[in-house]
Amino acid sequence: MTEQISPAKGLHGVITVPGDKSISHRYAMLTSIAEGESQIHNYSTGADCHSTLACMRSLGVEHEFKDVDGRSVLFVRGKGIHGLSASKDQLDAGNSGSTIRMLSGILAAQPFTTRIAGDSSLAKRPMRRVMTPLGEMGARIEAAEGQFPPLTIHGTPLHGLDYRLPVASAQVKSCVLLAGLYAEGETIVREPVITRDHTEIALRELGADVTIEPRVARIRGGAQLTGKMLVVPGDLSSAAFFLVAALTSRNSDLIITNVGLNPTRTALLDVLRGMGASIKLLHIEQVNGEIIGNLQVKTSRIKGGVIEGATTAAVIDEVPILAILGALSEEGLIVRDAAELRVKETDRIDAIAHNLRRMGVTVHTTETGIEIPGRQSFQATEIDSFGDHRIAMAFAIAALSADGPCTIRESEAASVSFPEFYATIRQIVQ
């Protein structure tokens, strides 16, 4: 599919974004292995989170969406920690790295073998990062060429592990903690920089024996989880597209409601404010251990800057949209220490550079970073999403500031995390 996006004169209104993708995956997996029924409000509408639900159904866990007071609520009938059953068919993680990597931690501990695969993008993503710690816990996993999906996971009793993550990855941390839930003794994960801690919070919320310290998470195996009512905050990484859209479109004033503001995710707001963005937090509350608030964003003069080290890891999903902001900023944007971008849904360094150049923007790339001089403008053109949701959405936002209508090719990629994305643009453009 293609989508045509015309330049906007300004953005106004009040919008919501889908439930957080990371939290939705975790709630789907954990309520499946909890005792009793859970109700999950605001579960992500994105295809990735539906891949997780489909995998859990194949493992014997029933779920259904029911209308409660005009809202779609997900009901999951948990099977208990040892209640999953072998799947007749191979599991399909679709485009979702989070699904295959985190679920591997649970599957490694089951008394059966599971094969899990995904789409052509997932088939190229590195899995050794989860195979290594799970192997050290006792699991046996086979992979294509020793490192790519499909994975064949031979479940077995696991033992605890003290593991130092070689890469900053919340998916790998979560995988090891989920395996640790089943393992004998204590499992400790030490991370080089802080990554999102939704797994630790959700595990604690459902009754696991977890300790959270900066850069160290510990879990004791053997606890039972108990199902409950959970609310998923809106996804800040999805809100990021509209934050940048409002910052860069003239005379904009936008409110985004019920956005997740977990401190391990809000480096984006610090980066934007540090560059001069006018973003206000309007109403903050805590639900299920996660922070939720409303954001008000207005057109701002953006200075630009350098993103590196731990900050790069903390805004890794937002780099595509920050690149758009960088080109329109006064001093440009330099992103360093971003090797992980090369192994996301596509090679995002190349995808960003390719599309910026198509729009007439100067950009320099290295193996681990990207440099975009400021004060540039976007020429109307055709954009390639490369089947990557964040590339499709970032360049749709760039198109709002272009000198004419742009076409996004494979625009449907957006539905991996944000099926309502183009409708939301139409709702707020002037």
Q: Please name the residues in contact with 380: beta carbons below 8 A apart, sequence gap of 6 or more.
A: 359, 399, 402, 403, 404, 405, 406
| Cα separation values, 87 from 60, 92, 97, 296, Å | 7, 11, 20, 46
CB of 313 to ligand S3P, least distance (A): 7
Helix then strand then coil, in percent of the chain rounded to 5, is 35, 30, 35
Residue 24 or 252: which CB sits closer to ligand S3P? 24
Q: Which one among 42, 58, 104, 171 touches ligand S3P, defined by CB under 6 A?
A: 171
- CA distance between the termini of the chain: 24
Size of the site for ligand S3P (CB under 6 A): 10
3-state class (DSSP) for residue 346 = coil
CB of 274 to ligand S3P, least distance (A): 22
CB of 255 to ligand S3P, least distance (A): 25
Residue 199 or 252: which CB sits closer to ligand S3P? 199
Structure tokens at 84: 């999953």
**DSSP character at residue 101:** H
Site string for ligand S3P, 408-427 (x = CB under 6 A): --------------------
Question: Which residue has the closest beta carbon to ligand S3P?
Answer: 22
User: Using the rule CB under 6 A, is 48 a contact of ligand S3P?
Assistant: no
Binding range to ligand S3P, per CB under 6 A, among 132-140, 168-176, 264-272, 322-330: 168-176
User: Using the rule CB under 6 A, is 42 a contact of ligand S3P?
Assistant: no
- Residues 227, 233, 238, CA angle at the centre, nearest 5°? 135
Binding range to ligand S3P, per CB under 6 A, among 31-39, 70-78, 85-93, 164-172: 164-172
Specify the pairing of strand 229-231 against strand 35-41. parallel
Q: Which one among 3, 197, 290, 317 touches ligand S3P, defined by CB under 6 A?
A: 317
CB of 237 to ligand S3P, least distance (A): 7
User: Using the rule CB under 6 A, is 248 a contact of ligand S3P?
Assistant: no
Q: Which one among 38, 45, 51, 98 touches ligand S3P, defined by CB under 6 A?
A: 98
**Which candidate, 151, 13, 52, places its Cα nearest to that of 416?**
52
- CA 426, distance to chain mean position in Å, is 24
CB of 196 to ligand S3P, least distance (A): 6
**Could you tell me if 370 and 320 are in contact, meaning their C-beta atoms sit under 8 angstroms apart?**
no
For 69-135, where are the E strands, in sequence order? 71-79, 91-92, 113-117
Residue 96 or 401: which CB sits closer to ligand S3P? 96
User: Using the rule CB under 6 A, is 196 a contact of ligand S3P?
Assistant: yes
Whole-number CA gyration radius for the chain: 21
**DSSP character at residue 343:** G
Residue 136 or 340: which CB sits closer to ligand S3P? 340
Q: Which one among 19, 22, 180, 268 touches ligand S3P, defined by CB under 6 A?
A: 22
CB of 281 to ligand S3P, least distance (A): 23
Q: Where are the alpha helices (DSSP H) in 149-263?
A: 170-182, 198-205, 236-248
For 124-270, where are the E strands, in sequence order? 140-144, 148-154, 162-164, 186-190, 209-213, 216-220, 229-231, 253-260
User: Using the rule CB under 6 A, is 265 a contact of ligand S3P?
Assistant: no
Q: Which one among 99, 104, 114, 169 touches ligand S3P, defined by CB under 6 A?
A: 169
Site string for ligand S3P, 275-294 (x = CB under 6 A): --------------------
CB of 304 to ligand S3P, least distance (A): 23
User: Annotated active-site positions, please?
Assistant: 317
- Residues 317, 259, 23, CA angle at the centre, nearest 5°? 60
Structure tokens at 223: 């606890």
- Residues 194, 195, 199, CA angle at the centre, nearest 5°? 125
User: Using the rule CB under 6 A, is 311 a contact of ligand S3P?
Assistant: no
Binding range to ligand S3P, per CB under 6 A, among 38-46, 59-67, 166-174, 263-271: 166-174
CB of 113 to ligand S3P, least distance (A): 25
Residue 166's CB: how many other CB atoms inside 10 A? Answer: 12
Q: Across the chain, which distance is largest between two alpha carbons, in Å?
A: 61
Binding range to ligand S3P, per CB under 6 A, among 61-69, 170-178, 353-361, 376-384: 170-178
User: Using the rule CB under 6 A, is 170 a contact of ligand S3P?
Assistant: yes
Residue 63 or 196: which CB sits closer to ligand S3P? 196
C-alpha–C-alpha distance, residues 384 and 305, integer Å: 27
Q: Which residues bind ligand S3P (CB under 6 A)?
A: 22, 98, 169-171, 174, 196, 316-317, 340
